[in-house]
Structure formats: structure tokens, C-alpha cells
Amino acid sequence: MSVEGATLHEVVTTAKATLELAGVPSPGVDAVELAAFILDVAPGEVQRRMVLRAPITEDAAITYAALIHERARRVPLQHLTGRAYFRGLTLAVGPGVFIPRPETEVVAGWAIDAARDSDSPRPIVVDLCTGSGAIALAIADEVPHAEVHAIELSEHAHAWAAQNVERLGLPVNLVLGDAITSFGELWASVDVVVSNPPYIPTGQVPIDPEVAEHDPRVALFGGSADGLSIPRLVAARAATLLRPGGVLVMEHADSQGESLPRALAQSGNWVDIEDRLDLNGRPRATVARRGHDQQGD
């Protein structure tokens, strides 16, 4: 299709067909989002202009076509726009950091609920394996009276998280380091620990090219055949950080809805262990309370 004299409706419709042919899971949404990015408007405005058959400049159409080509190669949408949306926040993301998923917004919500329900006037919340900082920043945004700490092992991911903390101006104490040895100064004083740790079983290859080829491996694989080696270690650290009765919220793969709760039960550190479903009805996170016996995993 010639871009000279083309309408926005024409180029976005063609882009949607291209992405659909390439197997992109949400071709229409991505086509509109990339158009919104190029035109520096909201997606709703793109749709309005499409209905009106508004024109698009030749330069914008050429730039848009180049982005659609990259998306058709399964480069993540968020790498092309440099942004990801998470519970009302717009985060800076790109190569080197795990892109926050919509299902993790529900996990963040459970941590937010736990912080709000805490009896502490200033609940202490810790996000282990924070990645882009998505969960920690959402908590700081939605529970402004909380004291929020976050840690990330990867220098690349930490740099993205630091950028997000600075740009959003939310009070998160962000640390570069290992989650399983973190925040010793907070021993037995934390009200909520939340974590989206690496949990993919080591022998499992992600299906989506966006994940397999672009998400950092350190953020994906759980270190064992069942994917739970790293989550167990993170949970063990959470047990030392939480006060008795404090809440752990840990995301997991949909195949780990029984195995992670069982591993937590076997450790002897946790009570009121509950596995919760996401909005698609899939096992998504285990929520548990720290017991009163100070045992180690």
C-alpha cells in the first residue's frame, strides 16, 4: 500500500492484518498502541481519527510501518514504545528487564490489600525480585502510608527500576542485590513481602518469542526441574523478614498452584496458606501468613 495520501484507518487496518499473519496475540491492540505512540496521542484518539478517516503524514506512516515490521518479528511491543502500563502507572521498560504482565497486576492488588489491612500505622512492605519496580511502585502509589522497599539482582533491571522510581517520584527504597540475603536490618519487622520470582522449570522452553528471545533469562527460570528452587529460597528469606502474622504474596506459574503451597507448608514457617486464581481462573499466586515458630526453610 502506498503511504502517500493514506488515511490512518488504512494504515492501521493494514498493520493489524500484518501482525495477525505474524501470530502476534493481540494484533488490533498492538496496531493501535503503536499508532498512538507515533502520533503521541491516546489510543482512544487513534480510534476516533480512524472513524473520521483522518489522514496520516507520509513520514509518520513510514515510521509506523517500520515499527509494525519489528513487531511482526515478535519484538515486544513495550520494547518498541519503551513503556508498559501497570495499575495506572506508566513504567519505562526495555531490553534487560522483565516486562510486567497484566496478571501480575492482580498479584500486586493482593499485596496492596494486605498492606491496607495491616494493623501497623505505617506498614513495612518488601518486594523481592522487583524487576522494573512495578509491584513496589504500585504499592507506594496506592498505599501512600506504607514504607516500601525493593531489591533486584540484575544490574540492567535495577537501572530500569531506578529510572521508574526517579521519574514517578514515589517513595521506594530500591536496592541492587540478592533477594535471598536482603534487608537484614528489617529482620522480623516486615508486614508484607511480595515477590514475582523466577519460576519457570529449567527444562521448559517459553512458547512466545517475546519471552523466549527477549525477556532476560535471570528473570524467568526457577533453578530446578520443578521451577521452585529460587521461589523456595525467596520464601525462606521472606520468613526471616516478616513479623509473626505478616503476609507473603508470591506469584507462580499456573502449573505450581499445588506444588508451591505444598513447599511452603513443608517448611514449617507458614500458616493460612491459600492459593489464588487470576482473572482468567488460573492459579496465579500463593498467599500465606508467617507462623510464630522461627524455623528456617
Binding site per annotation, positions: 152, 196-199
Which residues participate in the annotated binding site for S-adenosyl-L-methionine?
Answer: 152, 196
**Nearest to 246, CA basis, from 296, 197, 209, 194:** 194
Question: Which residue numbers belong to the known binding site for substrate?
Answer: 196-199
